[in-house]
Amino acid sequence: MLRTLLLGLLLVPTVTLAAPVAEELYQSNCVACHGENRLGAMAPALLPESLARLKKTEAVDVISNGRVATQMPGFKDKLSAEQIGQLAGWIYQPAAQTPAWGEAEIRTSQIAFDKTGFQDKPVFNADPMNIFLVVEAGDHHISVLDGDKLEVIHRFPTRFALHGGPKFTEEGRYVFWASRDGWITKYDLWNLKPVAEIRAGLNTRNVAVSSDGKTVMVANYLPHTLVALNADDLSLIKVIPVIGQNGKSSRVSAVYDARPRGSFIAALKDIPEAWEIVYDEAKGGPVYRGLVHDWQYGEGNPERGALPVRIIPLDDILDDFFFDPDYKFIIGASRNAQKGQVVNLAIRRKVGEVDLPGLPHLGSGITWEYQGHTVMATPNLKEALVSVIDMKTWQTVKEIKTLGPGFFLRSHENTPYAWVDVFSGPNRDAMQVIDKRTLELSATLRPEPGKASTHVEFDRYGKYALVSLWEMDGALIIYDAATLKEIKRLPMKKPVGKYNVWNKTRLSSGTSH
């Protein structure tokens, strides 16, 4: 086995010469599941963008031995180590032609599920506003949890590799989520069944839902587009090509709903602009033609005038941001800069800077009141600290040293504590608890020594803190949020994020929205 892997590894650099051979191998062994042109079908896409998180050595291992809890078989008895090495190398090469995923492909992919027998009330006996969705990355499932009884009431398979926060409609009935491969799903939480699906991109970052519940906006890395869908059935409204004022196109890092402004705000990864896509001009003010490209305005589209883009020019790329509680500012970070930018959305320009030394994970920050001021706090992916920043002066109030760089900080209005993981580093089994009143660390928990724990979410009342034990044979570990004592464990397959309907729809200051 080790020999096979090593041989595979040695062969990876030679693949450019072997590309036609690898392509033939792909056609005879992989195309049925991974699709023509590696775009994905019943199995995920195999494009460099889709494989960004998988090391080539891991790809060799997966092709040789298969992937646990999926239908991917091992090929080591069918293909030689040399062939596996060639295949593994080839899939990391860009496609000969830039793959197209435009209006026609999106429309063709739309799926409507049968809604016969759907009821207009929950089919389960639990508070529908205190439901959690738990994404289990280990075997690509979602568990639906009763937030009062802390019991799983339903579990179902999802598309491969969901990522980012699912977005709920106001009354908590419908929820939308995205897979990294661009599949968008609309799910009816009251009936515990899917309503519609569509593939909006080939490599997708996240989705946002408008506060009026009518529009879903999808942020894509591949192709460089924003895609607007009807929230009703996920049918396509329009594809917005993301091309900046300098004529350069850009990946979209993320898109979020800015509810008081009646718009979506998108962070762009390759050009120094943020975009505001307006769905309600009565709230955010009119968008004047002439300031925007025709396609950004909506010219030539049956929905002409719908979803025009207002450009926010920036000095530096902003590939992640955070709203202030009133949605007047965005506080953003760039992967290459030590300082974050504060942008006033009304006047559409930078008005200040903040210290964000180690880049936060998107949507990781929260706010609370500290000594009469609103502060925002976020962990940093590259530094072992939580930055606490005053939202009026934009000064750093404190950098709280932690045991390692972290992904998520979470709290709730009804608890004095904020919980942070230290997921990237040797102490990844620890969860640290910060006292929001003193900005001091008040506890370090090790839910399962030696095993990674991450992502906390609270129930609607802030009574319980739910932690993910991020292992294939992992668990959801539930703590009493006041005593910090473990209450129970629910076995799960590599649980990642969990999302409480109430906290997400009521914009709890302790979580992302």
Give me the residues that bind ligand DHE (CB under 6 A), please.
53, 137, 163-165, 205-206, 254, 361-363, 407, 455, 496-497, 511-512
Structure-token pair, residue 147: 């937030």
Measured from the CB atom, the residue of 272 and 497 that comes closer to ligand DHE is 497
Nearest residue to ligand DHE on Cβ basis: 497
Residue 244 CB, nearest approach to ligand DHE (Å): 19
Measured from the CB atom, the residue of 76 and 261 that comes closer to ligand DHE is 261
Expressed in percent and rounded to 5, the helix, strand and coil fractions of the chain are 15, 35, 45
Measured from the CB atom, the residue of 256 and 329 that comes closer to ligand DHE is 256
The DSSP symbol for 119 reads -
Residue 106 pairs with which residues in a beta bridge?
none
Radius of gyration over alpha carbons of the chain, in Å? 23
Q: 58-63 — which CB contacts under 8 Å span 24+ positions?
A: 59/88, 59/91, 59/92, 60/5, 60/8, 60/9, 60/12, 60/84, 60/85, 60/88, 61/5, 63/87, 63/88
Residue 208 CB, nearest approach to ligand DHE (Å): 7
Contact 303, 238 (CB under 8 A): yes
User: Measuring CA to CA, which residue among 332, 238, 320, 224 is closest to residue 279?
Assistant: 238
CA distance between the termini of the chain: 45
d(CA 480, CA 353): 38
Residue 254 CB, nearest approach to ligand DHE (Å): 4
Burial class from Cβ neighbours inside 10 Å (0-12, 13-18, 19+) for residue 421 reads buried
Residue 161 CB, nearest approach to ligand DHE (Å): 7
Measured from the CB atom, the residue of 218 and 311 that comes closer to ligand DHE is 218
Residue 135 CB, nearest approach to ligand DHE (Å): 7
Measured from the CB atom, the residue of 81 and 277 that comes closer to ligand DHE is 277
Residue 83 CB, nearest approach to ligand DHE (Å): 29
Measured from the CB atom, the residue of 163 and 214 that comes closer to ligand DHE is 163
Residue 104 CB, nearest approach to ligand DHE (Å): 27
Measured from the CB atom, the residue of 175 and 292 that comes closer to ligand DHE is 175
d(CA 89, CA 78): 18
**H or E stretch at 2:** helix 2-11
